[in-house]
A and B are shown apart, each in its own frame.
Chain A
Amino acid sequence: MKKNITRIIIVVLIVLVATVITHFDSFIYKDPVMKIQQVKVISRDKSTDEYKNTDTQIDQRLTGILLNTSKKGKKVTLKNSYYQSQLIDQKYRKGQQVILSKSGQHYSIKNVKRDTVLVFSLGLVIILLFCMKFSRSKLLISVLLNLLVYFGFIKLLIHNNNNYLLIMTVITSLLISGIALLVILGPTSDALMAYLSTVCATTLSILLSVLLLKLSGNSGVHLELTDFGLQPYFSVFLSQVLFSVLGVILDETMDISSSLIEMKKEVSDVKESALFKAGINIGRELIGPLINILLFIVIAEHLNLILLYLSNGNSIGYTFTMTLSLGFTQLLISSIGIVLTVPITSFIASKIITRRAY
């Protein structure tokens, strides 16, 4: 117990030190970093636009000192103008650190310095993990390995200019799901079984969905609305679907197959058909919550844009077509995957498990 408390204190200290260091790390920035010391509101301009939205445009004068580069310590004054709703502009506060860009003799604000809050939040997660009796090492290893694979994926993607996006996504998905299963279940035949089910279910559901989409001629699906209009639209969209559904399907296959293994352990002469039925029964309960998870994630992703459309006088129908049609297509493909996983996993698991002796 005492050892545990010392360990927590050490982790807290490390997190605090890391946070403080990133607060004072402006020397690693090539662009000038300014600490805002004084904020003065110059003017407020309340306006109502053609859609009857009332917003206030505010001009502020910011004074601060530079924290790095050769002009360290120099006083800089600049103007900033923002709408109170702050969609893409920004209200600046005293004490904030901002990254500047310089053109000629003029400074303008490029970005808020956000690295400190990132390190702090990450630290908070780690502290929470250390406060509790989780098996941390496994979790951290799997997250780190997956991040590493993702990093490699991004590097290759950039290198190849998106040409092999879909193939690379498939390989990456095979890798990250394999890593996740290996770390959680260990190098066992159970992991192999879950892996097989995951791969089969995901492949089948994606193929089925692509077929259906082609049959309907992509009607009602605005593929050109992928994030940032990244090309080729269809590959980008499918890659996003694949990544987002993978975690949920992994969860599902593991749940079903481990319950079936438990069953076999308890009743060693259980029939294949009984196991299959049990699998379907367990899976049924999982479908609703898993679709819910993706539903909320998909909608949350688009909330900003939806509200912008709505506040610009668009009808709900038009707004949803423009913002959520892709999201809903993604959700439907994922839901088909989630549903198909139940019989596929039950089938594969019951076949393999009945042939095994416990």
Chain B
Amino acid sequence: MLFLLGAFVVLLLMVAGSRAFSLLFGLAINLISIVALLILIADGFNVLVTTAIISLIILIVAIYMNVENSNTANIAFKTSILIVLIILLITVPLEFWASAQGMGIEDQEELEAFSLAAGVSFPQLAIAIIVVNSLGVISETSVAISSGLNEIILSKPTLTPKEVFADGFSVGNKILSTQTNTLLFNFFSATFPLFFLMNSLNYKAVDVINNKLLVAEILTMLICAMGVILTVPITAYFVYRGVGKKSIDSIDK
């Protein structure tokens, strides 16, 4: 693993030059935040509150360290926070309904040596898992859309707010497709061992559809997709408000 780490750092230095340091720094902060999240939860802090706070830190790092234009970064940050809140609001009832928390009987072999009375609320952790899963996708989407839209506005300053929305969707189309691919392919990566196992355990189709682990994976993918879809209009709205303000200012003058 050290060889891989070394190769990664060398390649990064070669490709990104001086930018590599801030990249590595950002990744390190994200890693530390996640480790902090784990330790706090294991120590008995409330799962959802801790996740919310750590998510906030991660979003700040992920957006402000990667984006140089402060206007773009502000809009992307506002959008991401709103989206993570919405995801939380969607996930809480859906997870409650699906009861797809924790691990499955398929994992039992792995769990034999453990005391399962862990004292951690796994239903809440299931919600945290979906939120953490979405952080990278959401921050990337909002940055991509807001920087795309800001560029369009810079090149055509006379744009009306309505046109901003239309442009938001044309920028959003491509990003939505690529993010869907990322989510879908990661779903493939996570589930093919599960499908294989379920087959060797002779599961019937109805057992597969109702399986806890599979349902959890599908829910994660669908909820992240909802987040990505909602990012487009919300980013467009924030940019549009910015444009609206500017045009009022120019009328005043």
Residues of A that sit less than 8 Å from B by CB: 28-31, 47, 49-51, 53-55, 57, 83-91, 96, 99, 110-118, 120-122, 124-125, 128-129, 132-135, 138-139, 142-143, 146-147, 150, 153-154, 157-158, 162, 176, 180, 183-184, 208-209, 212-213, 215-216, 219-221, 226-230, 236, 239-244, 246-248, 250-251, 254, 280, 283-285, 287-297, 299-301, 303-312, 316, 325, 328-329, 332-333, 335-336, 339-340, 342-343
Known pairs A213-B3, A310-B42; A300 contacts B129 (CB<8 A): yes
Lowest 4 A-B CB distances belong to which pairs?
A: A293-B136, A247-B182, A243-B189, A55-B117
Given contacts A228-B197, A296-B135, contact A244 B186 (CB under 8 A): yes
Tell me the dominant secondary structure on chain A's binding face: helix
Q: Does A308 contact B114, Cβ atoms closer than 8 Å?
A: yes
Q: Which of A120, A121, A129 has the most CB of B within 10 A?
A: A121
A340 to B117, CA, bound (A): 45
The answer, yes or no, to whether B5 is at the interface (CB within 8 Å) is yes
> B residues within 8 A CB of A248?
182
Report whether B140 and A114 are in contact in the complex, using a CB–CB cutoff of 8 Å.
no
Decide: A332 and B8 in contact? CB cutoff 8 A: yes
Q: Mark B216-253, 1 if CB is under 8 A from A, else 0.
A: 00111011011001101100000000000000000000
Partner of A117, one of B98, B103, B184, B225: B98
> C-beta contact mask, B1-43 vs A, less than 8 Å → 1, else 0?
1111101100110011101000100110011001100110110
Q: Which residue of chain A lies nearest to B222 when distances are taken between CB atoms in the complex?
A: A121
- Which residues of B lie under 8 Å from residue A325 when comparing CB positions? 1
Tell me which residues across on chain A come within 8 A of B104, comparing CB atoms: 88
Q: Give the residues in chain A near B115, CB-CB below 8 Å.
A: 49-51, 53, 312
Chain A residues with Cβ below 8 Å from B53 are none
What is the CA–CA distance of A78 and B130 in the complex, to the nearest angstrom?
33
* Contact call A246/B193, Cβ cutoff below 8 A: no
Q: Which residues on the A side are within 8 Å of B125 (C-beta)?
A: 303-304, 307
A153 touches B192 (CB 8 A): yes
Taken together as a complex, chains A and B put the C-alpha atoms of A120 and B95 apart, in Å, by 12
Residues of chain A within 8 A of B140, CB atoms compared: 289-290, 292-293
Most buried by A among B128, B180, B199, B233: B180
Apart from A47-B117, A111-B212, A115-B210, 4 more pairs, CB < 8 Å: A85-B120, A292-B135, A296-B133, A301-B133
Q: B132, A299: Cβ atoms under 8 Å? A: yes
Tally of contacts, chain A with chain B, CB under 8 A: 348
Chain B: how many interface residues by the 8 Å CB criterion? 113
Please, how many angstroms separate the alpha-carbon atoms of A283 and B166 in the complex?
27
8 A–B contacts from the bound complex (CB under 8 Å): A83-B118, A114-B100, A116-B97, A124-B90, A134-B173, A228-B194, A251-B182, A284-B19
CB distance from A207 to the nearest CB of B (A): 12
In the complex, A132 Cα to B218 Cα: how many Å?
23
Considering residues B23, B123, B139, which has the most beta carbons from chain A within 10 angstroms of its beta carbon?
A: B23
The one of B4, B101, B139, B211 that contacts A292, using a Cβ cutoff of 8 Å? B139
Contact B183 A304 (CB under 8 A): no
Report the bound CA distance from A117 to B2 in whole Å: 44
User: Is B1's CB under 8 angstroms from A113's CB?
Assistant: no
- Decide yes or no: A332 and B1 within 8 Å by CB, A88-B104, A292-B140 being known contacts: yes
Take A229-B109, A292-B139, A303-B132 as given contacts and tell me if A133 and B3 are in contact as well, using a CB distance cutoff of 8 Å.
no
Instruction: Identify the closest chain A residue to B119 (Cβ).
Output: A53
What is the CB-to-nearest-CB distance from B76 to chain A, in angstroms, rounded to a whole number? Answer: 10
Kindly list chain B residues whose C-beta atoms are within 8 Å of the C-beta of A113: 210
* B85 contacts partner chain A, Cβ-Cβ < 8 Å: no
The answer to the question of B158 belonging to the interface, with a C-beta cut-off of 8 Å to chain A, is no
Q: Is the CB of A251 within 8 A of B178?
A: yes
Residue B89 at the chain A interface, CB threshold 8 Å = no
**CB of B75 within 8 A of chain A?**
no
Q: Which residues of B contact A301 (CB under 8 A)?
A: 133, 190
Contact indicator B4/A332 (Cβ below 8 Å): yes
Chain A residues, CB < 8 A from B139: 289, 292
Within 8 A of A (CB), among B187-203: 188-190, 192-197, 199
Instruction: Output the nearest chain B residue to A216 by Cβ-Cβ distance.
Output: B3
What chain A residues lie within 8 Å of B100 (beta carbons)? Answer: 114
Given contacts A88-B104, A118-B215, A157-B196, contact A243 B188 (CB under 8 A): yes
User: In this assembly, does B49 line the interface, its C-beta being within 8 Å of a C-beta of chain A?
Assistant: no
B residues in contact with A241, CB < 8 Å:
189
Residue of B nearest to A154 (CB): B195
Give the residue among A29, A117, A285 with the most B Cβ atoms within 10 A.
Answer: A117
For the complex, give the distance between the alpha carbons of A212 and B223 in Å. Answer: 37
B129 touches A332 (CB 8 A): no
Q: By the criterion CB–CB under 8 Å, are A157 and B218 in contact?
A: no
For A184, the chain B residues whose CB sits under 8 A away are 174, 177-178
Q: A335 to chain B: closest CB distance in Å?
A: 5
Contact A336 B4 (CB under 8 A): yes
Q: Are A134 and B196 in contact (CB under 8 A)?
A: no
The complex places the Cα of A146 from the Cα of B181 at a distance, in Å, of 9
Cβ contact within 8 Å between A303 and B215: no
Q: Are A85 and B118 in contact (CB under 8 A)?
A: yes
| A79 vs B174: C-alpha distance when bound (angstroms) | 52
Contacts of A296 in B (CB 8 A): 30, 34, 58, 132-136
